[in-house]
């Protein structure tokens, strides 16, 4: 959402004293999402909305609290279904089954482990 649209929505909840009161949850969700997606600093974000950081701190705190409590259903758990895949040797691979585990070193080398136990053994010896 563009800051100008959010600015218009927030301005409808300004009191005569310049405070934001009774902002609904859906606008708090939009505010938090816009704040998280903002590429610049928080100060620039607040300025683009026409508010100071002091006025926005309470609003941001309320939005974060609502998100933690699960009021914004966007981060709800979503089940992912894995379908069967045909591998190179044309045998059917079961969901969640893999042929090997790859580990890339800082030097760019790739080490493949066919079993998890081999990876664990390697990590124990390396550490």
Does the pLDDT of residue 71 top 70, yes or no? yes
pTM of the predicted structure, to 2 decimals: 0.54
- The residue ranges of every structural domain in the chain are 3-75, 94-126
Q: For residue 66, count other CB atoms closer than 10 A to its CB.
A: 15
Q: Phi, psi (5° rounding) for residue 38? A: -65, 125
How much is the average pLDDT of 41-60?
Answer: 86
The pLDDT tens digits of the residues spanning 77-108 come to 556 666 555 445 545 556 666 677 887 777 77
The DSSP bridge partners found for residue 86 are: 92
Say what the pLDDT of residue 86 is.
Answer: 47
Within 13 Å and on the Cβ side, how many CA atoms surround 50?
Answer: 13
């Amino acid at each position: 959402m563009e800051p100008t649209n959010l600015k218009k929505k927030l301005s409808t909840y300004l009191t005569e004293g310049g405070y934001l009161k009774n902002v609904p949850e859906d606008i708090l969700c939009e505010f938090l999402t816009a704040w998280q997606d903002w590429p610049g600093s928080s100060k620039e974000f607040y300025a683009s909305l026409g508010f100071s950081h002091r006025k926005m701190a309470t609003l941001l705190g309320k939005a974060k609290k609502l998100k933690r409590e699960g009021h914004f259903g966007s981060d709800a758990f979503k089940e992912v279904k894995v379908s069967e895949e045909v591998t190179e040797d044309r045998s059917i691979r079961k969901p969640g089954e893999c042929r090997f585990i790859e580990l890339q070193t800082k030097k760019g080398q790739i080490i493949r482990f066919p079993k998890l136990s081999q990876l664990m053994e390697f990590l124990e010896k390396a550490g």
